[in-house]
Chain A
Amino acid sequence: MSAQWLSLQSFQQGQELLEAINNVSIHAKLQRNGVASQNGERPKTVQQSREKIKAFLQALAPLVEQAGENDARPLLGIDLRRRQLVSSFLKAIGNPRQFHSVLFRKSISEAIRLLEADTETDQQQLIDCLADLRVLIEEHTNHDTVRILGEI
């Protein structure tokens, strides 16, 4: 019996998160550049996207902390793809050349704080965090896509 269900569920979570990351990132850059949004619905969508990213990071933080401990205990109550995502996150922490934002260099909680911050410096740091997170999620989602669609 096929185990594609796992990849599709993971894909769905990944693509919703990517949509949220792109929404917040575009909004932050437009604000930084002084370009007003022409779409009245946008602030609401952006706030929902922030909430989605925040919920994702809040759920991820304890798992990353637990898996990063020296005497790592097993990750309980989460599926294979989520465990692999935690593992990818830890590898990204160990790769400062590629992942240099606050999210990977400082802490997940600091990145969560940036989601609500509005100073210019914080906004730039948030943009960097989102760019790094997007790389990680895109890699993860691509893996799901290959499982669902097959190799090109």
Chain B
Amino acid sequence: MRAILRQSNLDLLREIEQLRAILQNRFKPTDANTLVPELIPFYQALVQACDQIHQRAVVAMSNLDFGQEDILSDVLSETQDITRLFQIYNRHFVGPLLRHQEGDRQCLKLLNWLHTRHPQTQKIPAGLSNGEFGILPAPNFPIVYSMPVSAQYGLLYLPLFFHEFGHLLYACHKQELDDLVQELQKKIAEWLGPMAQRDDRYSQTEAAKRNLVVETWYEWMQELFCDSVGFNIGGPGFIHAFSMYLRMRGRGEFQVRENELAHRASIQSLGSVFMHWPIRCIGPNFTMKRTYLRKPGELLQKC
């Protein structure tokens, strides 16, 4: 076991060093395909992440040197953990650097501008990837936005990045926003509550359904918050992009079966239905204004 773990960590260290070498070669100023300035912070964040994973692998190796049998399970877990982390970097965070081309600059400039407009996002690097519209917004990771290739060459869908940026804002203000969502969920739970309490199986089933609806509002509110961010930044341009994006998505995108409710995080139908909300939860400089969302009942009445 010890030998396998040592070899696994050595292999991982070699892979990390290989990735670092690839990134450094890509960044040579003499290379015709060298990085555009907008990606330099992303590159630096990735190199730093490689160093941190490398350091964890070195520590895992040094733990093996203690010669203690009973810590092998811990070292195994640690090795698996850093291997998974490295795989995720390899899969999602290297691509934006290696794939980049001059044509990315339009999107990257917009994303960098978005990030610089908020105090908590201005130091977070952004990259661009090919794929369905989306974002990977986890604190401590560089942020990757994705967009279908054809959309990257036009202006129409650029405002959809504003929605994705909303997920990052939510992550940056998580506790504050979670508290607000909790207030809303309490209100919804009250509204959905039965007029009379019974103690039978039917009531229990109905209560479980109500709980599911109330809990699912957490994900819905995050999506709605992101829509409101998108609308606030992009205005009619965002509405147009969103409606163009949704118009041919089909019935499956707009209806969720009850039994799928607990496993589906996003619901695009709500975004389109509630798009007209004049939610001003962020100001001109994206400063949080709690007052509007503090009154969830009022918010719902406006739907």
What residues of chain A have their CB less than 8 Å away from a CB belonging to chain B?
A: 1-6, 8-9, 11-12, 15, 18-19, 21-22, 25-26, 29-30, 33, 35, 38-39, 71-80, 83, 131, 134, 138, 141, 145, 148-149
Contact = CB atoms under 8 A, between A and B. Distances in A.
B188 to A, nearest CB: 9
A26 to B, nearest CB: 5
Interface in B233-281: 262-266, 268
A71 B68 CA distance: 48
Nearest to B216: A80
Contacts, number: 132
Interface stretch (B13-21, B30-38, B109-117, B163-171): B163-171
B152 interface: no
Interface string B271-294: 000000000000000000000000
Interface of B: 56, 59, 62-63, 66, 68, 70-71, 73-75, 77-78, 80-81, 84-85, 87-88, 91-92, 131-141, 146, 160, 163-164, 167, 171, 178-179, 181-182, 185-186, 189, 207, 210-212, 214-215, 218-219, 222, 262-266, 268
A74 B73 contact: no
6 contacts: A1-B134, A2-B133, A3-B266, A22-B77, A80-B263, A149-B87
Given A1-B133, A145-B84, 13 more contacts: A1-B132, A1-B163, A1-B266, A3-B266, A5-B138, A8-B137, A11-B88, A15-B84, A21-B77, A22-B77, A76-B181, A138-B77, A149-B91
Contact of A141 (B73, B75, B84, B135): B84
